[in-house]
Amino acid sequence: MKAVRFNGVGKPVSIDEVARPKPGPGQVLIRIGGAGVCHSDLHVMEEELGFQTGFTLGHENAGWIAELGQGVSGFKEGDAVAVYGPWGCGHCHACQLSMENYCENAASIGVSGGGLGADGGMAEFMLVPAARLLVPLGTLEPRLAAPLSDAALTPYHAIKRALPLLTGDTTVVVLGVGGLGHMAVQLLRVLSTARIIADDVDEAKLRQAKQLGADHTVNTRDVEAATVAIRDIVGPRGAVLVLDCVGIQPTFDLGGRVLGRDSRWTIVGLGGGHHDFHFGSTPYGCEMCTPYWGGRAELMEVIAMARDGRIHAHTTEFPLEQAADVYAQLKAGKIAGRAVLIP
């Protein structure tokens, strides 16, 4: 079968012929319906993150059950499923709470999940190590569900934790409305009554954010001008939540200038920016956090919302063979919503 392979930091991806895996006891083989193309793959390809080379990329996956390993019950061949991305040990306290994204034994497992150390879903088939990592899709199409497993789950997990702050008289600032951000705007609209300011350097993405429920949009190409524009909207209270889906230095700088007191500053973008957190550098009462991905049960919640049409990943589909070109387009900021590779 064909697979998109990670060949080491600084090297281009390749489409290689690899053997179709065979599920062992407890494992499940998925026929991939779609694999989301995520910005964090660019970090895998360009930075030394400690991954071994030679695995199949793709950590946002959905498809159909192709083959059940010995002892697997509760699923049958042909069932549509999403693959939960962060693979933990399955038995520590965090994993028992379904939060495998915070597995206590992550360091000793050696891989972060399929497409992140282990073979992922940019291939015709994908081996999933345990049935607990699958979420049934029901009537939702795998190609639409695939990006939800990260692009929706990550902001959902982050927003859920901030919900007690999001009353109807508050303002949320979403920095970056690409893959994660365009889902964040929809999730905020569904989950809260807060006012939403969507921010990006790309006018097309801002127009999309407005259609998806943002109350205001601000172009952040000029950080100084954007600071003034956002402060005009939020007033002296400031933003109660800044959700930074980019995480580069300019978005850190901007976020820090528009937050109010007793607020939350949530960074989910892996852009490598930083903030010196101490008294005086940050508004009083501001909690700063870097949540990672989301829980299995939260993925079930996200899938349920998508199945009902309350949220929708805006996708552009490409054949698997075009992976290298799609990554180049993503890097250039040319993908609106989420690119999905179809094998």
Give the binding site for Zn ion (CB under 5 A): 38, 40, 88-89, 92, 95, 103, 105, 150
Name the DSSP class of 321. Answer: G
CB of 187 to Zn ion, least distance (A): 16
CB 36 within 8 A of CB 62: no
Closer to Zn ion by CB, 94 or 259: give it: 94
In the complex, the smallest distance separating the C-beta of residue 60 from Zn ion, rounded to whole angstroms, is 6
**What is the CB-side half-sphere exposure of residue 197 using CA atoms within 13 A?**
28
In the complex, least distance from residue 57 CB atom to Zn ion, rounded to whole angstroms: 10
**Contacts of 219 by beta carbon, 8 Å cutoff, 6+ apart:** 199, 200, 201, 203, 206, 226
Name every residue whose Cβ is closer than 8 Å to that of residue 233 and which is 6 or more positions away in sequence. Answer: 171, 195, 197, 216, 218
**CB-wise, 52 or 105, nearer to Zn ion?**
105
Burial class (CB in 10 A: 0-12, 13-18, 19+), 100: buried
Distance (Å, rounded) from C-alpha 299 to C-alpha 320? Answer: 25
* Alpha-carbon distances of 294 from 64, 126, 169, rounded to whole Å: 22, 21, 27
Q: What is the closest distance, in whole angstroms, from the C-beta atom of residue 103 to Zn ion in the complex?
A: 3
Q: Which residues make Cβ contacts (< 8 Å) with residue 187, sequence separation at least 6?
A: 152, 155, 156, 159, 305, 311
Give the strand pairing for 239-244 and 171-175. parallel
| Rounded Cα distance, 190 and 157, in Å | 14
Closer residue to Zn ion (CB): 95 or 166: 95
Residue 303 C-beta: closest distance to Zn ion, Å: 17
Kindly state the smallest distance separating residue 147's Cβ from Zn ion, in Å: 9
From CA 217, how far away is CA 57, in angstroms rounded?
A: 34
Between 51 and 66, CB nearer to Zn ion = 51
> 92 or 201: whose CB is closer to Zn ion?
92
* Token duo for residue 284: 């009083």
Query: CB burial class (10 A; 0-12, 13-18, 19+) of residue 256?
Result: buried
Which is closer to Zn ion, CB of 89 or CB of 190? Answer: 89
Q: Which amino acid type is present at position 283?
A: P
Smallest distance from Zn ion to CB 287, Å: 24
Minimal distance in Å, beta carbon 296 to Zn ion?
A: 11
Question: Which residue, 100 or 202, has its beta carbon nearer to Zn ion?
Answer: 100
Comparing CB distances to Zn ion, the nearer of 88 and 291 is 88
3-state secondary structure of 74: coil
The residue assigned the tokens 């400690």 is 50
Q: Kindly tell me which of 150 and 202 has the beta carbon lying closer to Zn ion.
A: 150
Least separation in angstroms between residue 2's CB and Zn ion is: 21
